[in-house]
Structure formats: structure tokens, C-alpha cells
Chain A
Amino acid sequence: MKYRTYIAILLIGVLVTSCSDFLEPEPSSALTSNNYYTTSAELESALIGAYDAIQGVGDFDKDENHGVQYEFYITEMRSGNTATKIADPDDFSDAGQFESFNVLPINGLVGNYYDSYYEVIYRANVVLDNLGNVSDDTSSIEAEAKFIRAYAYFNLVRLFGDLPYVDHVLSPLEKEAQFTRVDTSIIYDLIVSDLITAEAGLDNTYKTRASKAAAQGLLAKVYLTLENPEYAKAQIMCEKIINDGSFGLVDFNDVFYQELNQEIIFAVGFNSLNDSQTFSSQFMNSVGPSSGVNYATYDLVDDLNEFGGIRAQYSFRQDPNHLTSVRYQCAKYFPDGDDGGTTNPHTFDISPNPRLAGNDWIVLRYADVLLMHVEAIMAGANETNVGAALTSFQQVRDRAGLTDAVTEISLDDLLLERRVELAFENHRLFDLIRLGRAESTLSAYSVANGFGFTASDLLLPIPQNEVNLSDGLMTQNPGY
């Protein structure tokens, strides 16, 4: 009895005294966003995080953001350039909705891209909100973060139209900002101002990170896309890149298989072993989880064969494994282990895992800039014969082996040249819209294939998830 009392007292004493320090620990291993960013190196790590959001996660988990890896679904597969391997009018799978212009607001791939690119914007905003916490000169970091934010917004605004305007890190209470869609012109004002800052504050050190030339090229495209295009400013931006002399055209196949070559202005970098992307395998026959997506339409193949010059052989190839019909695959981004299709049936004998692919995603390359230069000089007219435009256009065609002298370029010539030059690179839909040919071209394509295109299909639906979360704040696009 006596002992028990002593033991009890002792235990109580131990408990009381021992707790005092444990319950108020100094956080030594945990960092929060409030106290983390104090040096420019730490801000730079946040910038790398924003690039990571553009890359997305290299798997097929529907709960992960896949960033640029899913972009082809919502751009190229909606442009008449590509489709699923076996078109099925009753295919209500997410991937099958794009080619037939029957995208549903619950489409997971659309939702994934929307989430991914707002994640990019969020991460860029984290950097921008913390610039004031760092005493060093942060002007280049600011420029880089603004480039990333502008790049993300430019893609979103072209795909979805009016958007929530998020120019800082939102607190949980800012529901209005999160879900109220503002006019595209306000979004474009932010994009232009961000890119002007980026252009002034960057140099041409990197190709897989923002650079001065990348900002100039993107700004040129933004100027051409505006509701009232700024053609002269776009031309000046293109000429800054052209006159810089650091960029040029390379062998067409090398554009895609010699990474960071002279033609690349901005690319999203991947590495096959520890940072692999998934789109390369998805473009193949049953290598990814699908049986094959982003296959060339006959419409595209016909144009490439007739007008592409040597680009045809480097842009697509007949699927060597699919034997019941003739289908064509994208040849610009073969994954690891692909042997170029010389064996039939197709084998992947170089690497044991053809799902791995380190091919960079090219966002902006010199040929695009040369063709934008032509577009800027054409300045909304239906044709041009200005010497500077002819020179730029001729360079692109010469590289493709089409050396006959060009004396006049019509708007449709330009659109066709962009199609065969930039096939599979997610430009076609935006080109058609920007140059005012989307309705006529896609209607004709839709009628020829029995699809249901209407003009409201040019904008994607706002993901249903966002509309539901907004408690009625968020409006849906027409036609959905």
C-alpha cells in the first residue's frame, strides 16, 4: 500500500515535468510558405516547382495533374488533325469526345488541364507574392515567374474564354475571385503586361526555362491573337528573334530528336529515366493505357503528302501493328525503344520499357516565329508580297525541300504551311481560330466525317466540377 502511493506520486511527478518541453517544439524540420522564402535561391526552387506543374506527373493517374502531357487531347485532337486510332461514333470515353466535337463538361481530360494550368498560375503567384521577402535583386525571378503565368493564362484563355482572374495567392475566403469569370480582354491585359516584364528582365540562357526570346515569341503570338491584333508590335517581336542570330532552322528530323537544338526557343523538358512523359507512348499502338490516340486523320496525311515536302516522312508513319485498316501515327515524338517502325509487327527492341520517353515538348520554335513574321506583315489582309514576308516564308519551305520561289503568300497558303510544318505540335486549332478559318474549316471537316461541330465547340466547357463548387458563381460556356 505504502509503495503504491509512492509509485503513484512518482509517476504523476514524471508525467507533469516531462511534458513541458515536448508540447511546445520549435519546428526545425517543417517549413511553411509563410516563413520559407527568404533568399533568391529559395525563390528559384519555387520557380522550378512552377515548371514542374507545367510538366505534370508522368503517369496515368486521373487524380494527378498531367500538365502539358494532356494538352494534345484538347487542342490537336479537336482541330481535324488527329483522332483516336479507331474512330467510334459511340465512343463516349473522354478521349473519344474530342475528334467528334462532343466534349462533355464532365470530361476528365479537360478538367485535368484546367486544374493543371491553374496550378501553374498558383505556383507562379507564390513566387511573385514572396518577392518582397527577399532582399536580393529579384527582377529576373519576377520576369521568369511572370513568363510562366502568362504562358499558362494564354493557353487557358484561348481554350476556355472568360476566366477567373487570379493574380495573387488566393486565401480560402476569396471565393469570388476563384469562380467569377472576367472578360478575356482583362486576362489578355495581364498576359501582355507579364510578358513585357518578362521580355525586359530575361536573357537567352535557357531553352527549357523562360528566356528573352521565348517571351518575345510568345508576345508576338499574343499580339496576333488579340481581338484587335497589334500586327506591327508582333512584327517587331519576331524581328528581334530573327535579328538576334542565335536561332535558325535545322534538319527537320533533328528538330525533334536533337534536343535543345538551334531551332528550339522554348520547350518543356523531360528525361526518360527519372522524369518521363507519357504522351509519346500514348501516340503508339497500345503502348500506353489506350489503344492509341492522336493518330493523324486522313485529312492531315493528305495535306502532308501533297504540300509537306520532306516533312511528310518525318511527321507521320503508317502504324505497323494495326493490320485491319490503314492508320497513321505521329512520328515526331517516338518513345524510348521505338525502332522507327522498320519491323512489322512492331517491336521495341532498344529498351525494355517503351512507356518511357524523354522527348521534350516543344512550345515555341524558330519556324513558328518565321511564319508568325509572315502573319504579322500580312496584317489581316488576304495576301502579301512584301519581301521580308517572302524571305521568312521561303526559309521554312526551303528547309522542307520546297525550293520553288514564292512570289505571293495568301492567308490560306500560310495556314496550310503552318499545318504541315507544325502538325502534332498543338498549334492547328489556335491557328484556325486566330486566322478566322475555324468555323468554315471545321464545319466542312465535321460534315465530311459525320461529326457534330458547331461554333460553340471552339471553346471547351468549363469543367463541371468547378461549376458545382462555385455555388452558382461560375457560368458555363454556351452550347454545353
Chain B
Amino acid sequence: MIWRYAGRRILATIPVMGFVALFVFSLLYFAPGDPAAIIAGDQASAEDIVRIRASLGLDRPFIVRFGEWLWQVLHGDLGTSIFANLPVAHMIGQRVEPTLSLMVLTLLFAVAVAVPLGVLAAARAGSWIDRVIMLFAVLGFSVPVFVVGYLLAWVFALQLDWLPVQGYVPLARGVLPWLRNLVMPVIALGAIYIALIARITRAAMLEVLGQDYIRTARAKGLGSLPVLFLHALKNASVPIVTVVGIGVALLIGGAVVTETVFAIPGIGRLVVDAILRRDYPVIQGVTLLFSVVYVLVNLAVDLLYSVLDPRIRQ
């Protein structure tokens, strides 16, 4: 039963992945500038360029080139950077650690902060605590990630000198230095994510708290904390988990900016440098990778539903 549900969900992501691949390939196909002319150089004649185009296979139809590209991608070949002349997959591989550290820490931090805040706001709905939490949620939506980043860096690095202004220390050089460099980026990137999760948590909890079985749990003498966190939160978990999954798009977009503000040598920084140099294979590779990660995260969320709420399997 659960396997049939899982199989259906996994099959459903294939057309979505196909569309993403088609879009990302079109990006390079329609990119301005002729790679053959660039390789041929300034001295080349028109015949030279035609010859190079043919030898690179650039004169073949769109669908043939798309098929060939897809075949390469499925074998882990994302093409070669125009600027660095290195394989894109290799360049991304070198920069996975900072970005993965930043995103995973932010995800854990945001959920750990936002869910209790949302539960508290719902439990005290209408009180000043609720209002303050919701005010911070609106602020979290409105203050862009680089603004939070610069503010934090100005206060805690430049004025108080508690934390390094920018940069990244690999995990291999010690957990503490690694964490110290990530504290501010994680808070800056987490702000909008916390706002989003706290709002949805509050809404989902309010819905559940109005149900009969909550009254039953209270009537049989359960304290208010077990009711909130054992009974109510478990039943409110589907929308919360959904928004955690959807919000990963915010993390990905925000990581690009956060890495720029805090000079973190990650994948986001790679794509920013690639834009300035018009290095299309790199932009294409990063877009494809992040989209696939996003689709897979949301697939995992879908599969998690059936564990959290068996009714969804039907």
C-alpha cells in the first residue's frame, strides 16, 4: 500500500524533471554568443567557424543536441566552464561543503526556532505574545536577507568584535571555527524561513486546537504541554512539513545572496561569479542541480506525508 503510493509519487516527478532539463538546456541553446566563434578566435574566417561548429556538433537540430546533453548529464557530465576551462561538475563538487553546511544548519535552526514560536502563538492566540511573534513574522518577510546579514555583521563583527566579519572555515579544521563563521549567515538566511514556518505552524495549530479530540485530551486531565506537543502538533504536522519543503526554494535563492554578503566560497558564489562572466555552462549546471535538489526534497516531503497521515495514501 505504502509502496504503491511511493511508486506513484516517484513516477510523477519524472515529467517535472524532464521539463526542468528541457528548460535548463534551452538556456544554453538560446544563450547569446557563438561558442564556435569564441574558440576560433578573432583571426578565424567564416569557413573556419562553420568547420568548428560542425566538429562540435553545434549544427545539429535542437532535439538531437538535447538528447545528447541529457545523456551526458545523466552520466554526471555537466559540461565545461567557458571561463575556468574546468568541468562544471568538478567546480560544483569543490564548493558543495560550504553551501551544504549553510543550508542544513539554517534548516535545523529555523525549524527549531519557528515551530515552538508558532505553537506558542497559537496556544496564546490573541494575546500580546501572539501579536509580538506575528509582528516578527511580518518583519521576517519584509527585511531582505542581505539587510539582516549586513546588520548582524555590523553589530556583532564590526562593533562588538564577537564573530568573524566574513569567510568560511571548513569543517575539517574544527567544529567551533566552522560554527563561528556560520552563525551570522545562518541567522540572516533563516529569518524569512522562520517567519514562513512560524506563520504556517500557528495557522495549522489553530485549526487542530479547535477539534474535539483536543478537548477530550484536556478533559481526561492531560497537561497543556503534552496536549500541545503530542496531540496537536502531530496532527498539525502535514502543512508544517509541506512549508518546510516548499521553503527550501527560499533557502536556495537566499544562499546565493548570503554567500555574497559573507564571502562564503560556495555554489551560490559560483553562480554569482558566473553571471558576471556570462559563463553559461556554470549557470546552467547550478540551476539544474538546485532544481533537482528542490524536486527531491519535495518528493521526500510527499513520502513523509503518508507516514504522518495514513489517510493521504488513499
Q: Do A and B come from one complex?
A: no
Could you tell me which A residues sit within 8 Å of B by CB distance? none
